[in-house]
Amino acid sequence: MNPLMTIAKKEYTDAIKNKMFIMLAIFLIVLTMVSITVASFDFQNKVAEYNISVQVLKDTGKAAEIPPVPEFYPLTMLRGVVDYLEIIGAIIGIILGYLSIAKERSKKTLQLILSRPVKRSTLAGGKIAGNSLLILTVLSITGVFIFIITWGLGKVIFSTVEFLKLLLVLFLSFLYILFFYCLSSAITMSMRSLPNALIIILVIWLIFVLIIPQIGDTMDPDNQIPGGFFQSMHIAKPQEKTIMAKFSTYETIRNALEESSVTKLFERASFALLGIKVEYNGKNFALIFHDYWKDMAWQISFLIAALLFQFMVLLKKNLILQEN
């Protein structure tokens, strides 16, 4: 078998035997199922309430006052899923990256592997391939449950465009988790002390996933009131842009801060694709890409930087072979 495929297979089988990874994967899938189940029941309740209201108006002779059927965008039910992917998905990537190197160093199997005619680039590529397949497996199971629950409980069938948007969000999730895997494995390789490496990785996770996104949300004036400040004040989009133009420096700083977090980049693009940002409900890909291609490009740039970091550490340093 090709050495790269052999290493990839070993990475995959080792991970699925690891109790910590299995627990995290199950935790992510269960939370996803709960989130979509609650959202599906909420949707059914809203439909029932609307039907009851219509019947009451008909019974009282006020059929002319029947409100129009409210628009429903099923992808908005997945907001909780995105939140869980941001937090738990990042942890899964970190654990995979840390264990991928820590177990080799503790068992001293890296020396054995590198004593064979195996290039270090092949070793890195095999590890990335195996863990990428593992991440795709978790996301595929998550996606299957999304379809089953929304169809079974919510009685929702995604349109072709909605299906493609969901696939793109899952692909962005894959890139997001893979970034944390590459960063975690590179840091673990580059440090002599495994506990110190894990502490540094968790601090980075804390900054990227929790601190910067929270600061960005706090600085956004439209997030201070449920439903949005401008919408609650019935301010039209052109007027909103005119108002925000007067705070261009503030908005530039806030936007730059958010763009420094791969988590916020993933969230912004995902929220637009799923229509969680209401102005993108039912909008086509062209409009969303026009407004968010930079966020997607920056997220890919973060991943490329982590990949290069991982390869540089493995190819140019011998720290990976050092004792703990």
Which pLDDT does position 115 carry in this prediction?
A: 63
- pLDDT of residue 173 exceeding 90: yes
| DSSP letter string, 206-233 | IIIIIIHHHHHHHH-GGGSSTT-HHHHT
Report the mean per-residue pLDDT for the chain. Answer: 83
Which pLDDT does position 222 carry in this prediction?
A: 59
| DSSP letter string, 93-152 | HHHHHHHHHHHHHHHTHHHHHHHSS--HHHHHHHHHHHHHHHHHHHHHHHHHHHHHHHHH
- pLDDT of residue 149 exceeding 50: yes
Residues 6+ positions from 13 with CB-CB distance below 8 Å: none
More confidently predicted of 275 and 156 = 275
Which pLDDT does position 137 carry in this prediction?
A: 95
More confidently predicted of 214 and 203 = 203
Instruction: Give mean pLDDT, residues 239-256.
Output: 69
**DSSP at 87:** I
Phi-psi region at 225: left, alpha or beta (left = phi > 0; alpha = psi -120 to 50): beta
- pLDDT of residue 125 exceeding 90: no
Handedness of CA 223, 229, 230, 232 (dihedral sign): positive
DSSP, collapsed to helix, strand or coil, labels residue 267 as: helix
- pLDDT of residue 152 exceeding 80: yes
Confidence of residue 52 (pLDDT cuts 50, 70, 90): confident
Which pLDDT does position 324 carry in this prediction?
A: 44
